[in-house]
Structures are given as C-alpha cells and as structure tokens.
C-alpha cells in the first residue's frame, strides 16, 4: 500500500485542518473549534466547541455564556468530513485533551497535543498516547536545560517550605494559576497535616474537580482576620491580606517550570520558585516524539524553532509552525518564548 499524503495543516490565523474543516485551539471566534483545555490562551467564544466533558464543565465554570458543546469522552469516536476523531488525555490539566484524526480514505493520521504533560499528576487524567504520521506538539520547555525533578521531590520541598515558614512565625503563601496549577498544589498538600486556606478564584473550580474524583485536603476560604498558622493557596495576581500583627510576615513560593532558571526567584519576586510544571519537560518531549513515531513533526509555543532543529538533528522531519526556523522568536501569537501566559 503506498504511503498516504500527510493531512494538510494551515496556519494562517491559527491551526486549521481544511480536510476535516477543523480549527485547533484558535484564538479567534469560530463557528466550530476544538478546544484542548480551559486555559484562557486556548479558548475563545466559539459557537460550537468540541472538547472533553471535563473541559466543557470548566469552560462553563470559568467563562459562562451560552454555546453548544460536543462533549467527546476519551477514546470515543466521532466522524467529521470523512475523518475519524478521537480525544486522548493530555495530562496537562483536568479535562485537557489531545486530538487524534484519521482520514478514512487512506488512513493518514494526525495528533495535536495542545498543552501536554507525560508524567501523571494529582489533578489531571493520566496522560495517554496514540501514534500518528503527523504530530503537532507544544514545545514550551523545548530546551535541554528544562529537566524537571520528580513531583514527589517538589511535594516534599513544598511541605518543608510551609513547615519552616510556620515554625518561624510567618505565613506561607503558595502561588499557582487559578485553574490547574493551584488545584495541583492543593492536591499535593493532602495528607500534609497543614491548615489550608484557599482564594475564591481557586475554590470556585473545585466542585468540577471533585465531581471528577480529585481529592483535596480540608480547606477554608481565606479570612483576613485569621490567616496566622494557615497555608494560603492563591493565584499570583491576587491581592494578599495584611500580614497578621506580630507575625514574621509572608514567605511566598511560586510554582512554575521556569523555576529551573536561577533568575526565576527575582523575576517572580518571591522567596522560592518550585519547578512544578503542567507541561512536558525537554526529556519527556523527546520520548513522546519517539513514542508517537511520526513522519513529520510541527512545533508550536515556547522554544518551537529550537526543538524542531533538535529533532531534525535526530533524523525527524520537523518544523516550527511559525516558520521561523532560522530566526529567534516571532511575534505572531503562536510563540510564548520565555513568558508563561497561563501554564
Ligand atoms: Zn494550558
């Protein structure tokens, strides 16, 4: 049987598959689009959204609004324009999905990762995998220096940070984005014997997580009158209550893959940056490509050109979707080099 032609991919105004008439995480409103997960940089107010049921629940909770959803369970099939569509857990946040597409005439296939992580977390569905001829992947941490420590090490360091702060009479503050990272931090605190207070922006999504079976420690809303002795979990931009009188102030930790960079502490203006990410690190990304075993790789986000060049050295046909493989970062809305918009 001859090798099928790859599934065509267009990149003007976002990633679009003309054969299946399908937009993938477009920034601009469309009649019909796949939304890989509920982070703001992957969502727009499309008329009809194809996504996992948990992502639909999170979009409703985060953004409200009336729209149509086609909720596809992981592993369940959907036909569209002569293509079979299936969602695969992406391991990035609760509900996050990769989309796998097979052209029915000749079996050509494509996997789009959205944001993804290959190590299981505490607050997302365990990541899956499906082979494809074309792989479109995010490469936020696509440089060799981004190798993340085991999550259990980060958890132990976090509990130590909190206990030491409390012992010194300070209030530990753990900062994570209100959707995804903050819930992962909370899940990490389970069983740690700490009193936890949670910002409203984080708390409002917890019912969706609980319905999905994620377990959290006992917690209360943040009450400015009684934060002494508590661990606060908050989004980075939220206003902190005044430090309790007579206390040693706050000790603040951020959670981000950029914590690998020694300067991250200064950039985030906090005492500690724990390298806890909801993305694949460099080594996991390489292994992922080998496992998908594609004939062609297209990279997007972060170090897209660098990671594509790296893959070419390893014998893959690989290109950045920005088409800037000879240049540094472009500014066309795909690249997020060095800046974490939402994790
Ligand atoms: Zn994301």
Query: Domain holding 203: CATH number?
Result: 3.40.50
Question: Cα(223) to centroid of ligand 1, in Å?
Answer: 30
Can you tell me the mean pLDDT for 227-242? 95
The yes-or-no verdict on residue 274 having pLDDT over 80 is yes
In a domain, 222, yes or no: yes
285-341: per-residue pLDDT in tens? 999 999 999 999 999 999 999 999 999 999 999 999 987 665 433 333 333 333 334
28-79: per-residue pLDDT in tens? 999 999 999 999 989 999 999 999 999 999 999 999 887 899 999 999 999 9
The yes-or-no verdict on residue 120 having pLDDT over 60 is yes
User: What per-residue confidence (pLDDT) applies to 331?
Assistant: 33
The yes-or-no verdict on residue 195 having pLDDT over 80 is yes
For 52-180, where are the alpha helices, taking DSSP H only? 53-63, 151-167
Question: Cα(118) to centroid of ligand 1, in Å?
Answer: 14
User: Same structural domain for residues 171 and 116?
Assistant: no
- For position 133, which CATH number holds? 3.60.15.10
146-168: per-residue pLDDT in tens? 999 999 999 999 999 999 999 99
User: Same structural domain for residues 140 and 262?
Assistant: no
User: Same structural domain for residues 115 and 66?
Assistant: yes
In a domain, 333, yes or no: no
The yes-or-no verdict on residue 284 having pLDDT over 90 is yes
Question: Cα(59) to centroid of ligand 1, in Å?
Answer: 13
Can you tell me the mean pLDDT for 14-32? 96
Cβ atoms within 10 Å, residue 84: 16
Domain boundary among 274, 309, 334: 274
Residue 31 CA, chain-centre distance (Å), reads 24
User: Same structural domain for residues 110 and 253?
Assistant: no
User: Same structural domain for residues 129 and 228?
Assistant: no
**222 HSE (CA, 13 A, CB side):** 24
User: What per-residue confidence (pLDDT) applies to 139?
Assistant: 98
Can you tell me the mean pLDDT for 171-196? 96
In a domain, 269, yes or no: yes
Question: Cα(290) to centroid of ligand 1, in Å?
Answer: 23
- What pTM was estimated for this model as a whole? 0.93
User: Same structural domain for residues 240 and 286?
Assistant: no
C-alpha to C-alpha distance for 115 and 201, rounded to whole angstroms:
22
In a domain, 75, yes or no: yes
User: Same structural domain for residues 87 and 159?
Assistant: no
Give how many domains the chain has, as a whole number: 2
C-alpha to C-alpha distance for 22 and 78, rounded to whole angstroms:
13
User: Same structural domain for residues 182 and 265?
Assistant: yes
Question: Cα(284) to centroid of ligand 1, in Å?
Answer: 17
User: Same structural domain for residues 259 and 284?
Assistant: no
Give me the chain's average pLDDT, please.
Answer: 92
User: Residues whose CB is under 5 A from ligand 1 (ion)?
Assistant: 39, 115
User: What per-residue confidence (pLDDT) applies to 272?
Assistant: 95
C-alpha to C-alpha distance for 329 and 338, rounded to whole angstroms:
10
Domain boundary among 274, 291, 310: 274
User: What per-residue confidence (pLDDT) applies to 3?
Assistant: 83
Domain boundary among 219, 243, 274: 274
In a domain, 71, yes or no: yes
Can you tell me the mean pLDDT for 267-286? 96
The yes-or-no verdict on residue 81 having pLDDT over 90 is yes
96-106: per-residue pLDDT in tens? 999 999 999 99
In a domain, 337, yes or no: no
User: Same structural domain for residues 270 and 310?
Assistant: no
Question: Cα(260) to centroid of ligand 1, in Å?
Answer: 19
In a domain, 341, yes or no: no
User: Same structural domain for residues 176 and 256?
Assistant: yes
198-209: per-residue pLDDT in tens? 999 999 999 999
In a domain, 329, yes or no: no
Contact 256, 86 (CB under 8 A): no
User: What per-residue confidence (pLDDT) applies to 326?
Assistant: 52
User: Same structural domain for residues 255 and 291?
Assistant: no
* CA–CA distances in Å: residue 256 to residues 141, 236, 339: 11, 11, 11
Question: Cα(184) to centroid of ligand 1, in Å?
Answer: 13
Question: Cα(226) to centroid of ligand 1, in Å?
Answer: 33
Please calculate the CA angle 213-215-218 and round it to the nearest 5 degrees. Answer: 140
Range of the domain at 248: 151-274
| Percentage with pLDDT > 70 across the chain | 94
Question: Cα(81) to centroid of ligand 1, in Å?
Answer: 28
Question: Cα(251) to centroid of ligand 1, in Å?
Answer: 27
Contact 44, 27 (CB under 8 A): yes
């Amino acid at each position: 049987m001859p090798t099928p032609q790859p599934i065509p991919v267009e990149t003007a105004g976002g990633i679009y598959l003309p054969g299946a008439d399908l937009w993938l995480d477009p920034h601009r409103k469309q009649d019909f689009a796949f939304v890989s997960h509920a982070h703001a940089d992957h969502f727009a107010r499309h008329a009809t959204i194809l996504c996992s049921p948990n992502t639909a629940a999170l979009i409703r909770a985060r953004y409200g609004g009336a729209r149509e959803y086609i909720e596809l369970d992981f592993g369940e099939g959907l036909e569209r324009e002569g293509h079979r569509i299936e969602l695969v857990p992406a391991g990035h946040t609760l509900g996050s999905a990769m989309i796998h597409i097979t052209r029915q005439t000749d079996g050509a296939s494509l996997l789009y990762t959205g944001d993804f992580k290959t190590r299981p977390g505490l607050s997302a569905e365990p990541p899956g995998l499906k082979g494809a001829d074309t792989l479109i992947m995010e490469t936020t941490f696509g440089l060799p220096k981004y190798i993340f420590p085991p999550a259990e090490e980060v958890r132990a360091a976090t509990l130590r940070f909190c206990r030491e702060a409390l012992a010194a009479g300070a209030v530990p503050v753990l900062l994570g984005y209100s959707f995804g990272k903050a819930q992962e931090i909370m899940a990490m605190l389970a069983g740690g014997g700490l009193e936890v207070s949670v910002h409203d922006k984080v708390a409002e999504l917890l019912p969706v997580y609980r319905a999905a079976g994620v377990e959290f420690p006992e917690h209360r809303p943040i009450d400015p009158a009684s934060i002494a002795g508590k661990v606060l979990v908050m989004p980075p931009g939220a206003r902190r209550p005044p430090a309790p009188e007579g206390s040693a102030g706050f000790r603040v930790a951020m959670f981000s893959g950029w914590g690998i960079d020694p300067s991250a502490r200064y950039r985030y203006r906090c005492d500690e940056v724990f390298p806890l990410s909801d993305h694949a690190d460099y080594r996991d990304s390489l292994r992922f490509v080998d496992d998908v075993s594609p004939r062609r790789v297209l990279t997007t986000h972060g170090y897209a050109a660098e990671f594509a060049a790296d893959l070419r050295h390893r014998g893959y046909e690989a290109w950045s979707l920005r088409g800037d493989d000879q240049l540094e970062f472009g500014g066309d809305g795909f690249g997020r080099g060095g800046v974490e918009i939402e994790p």
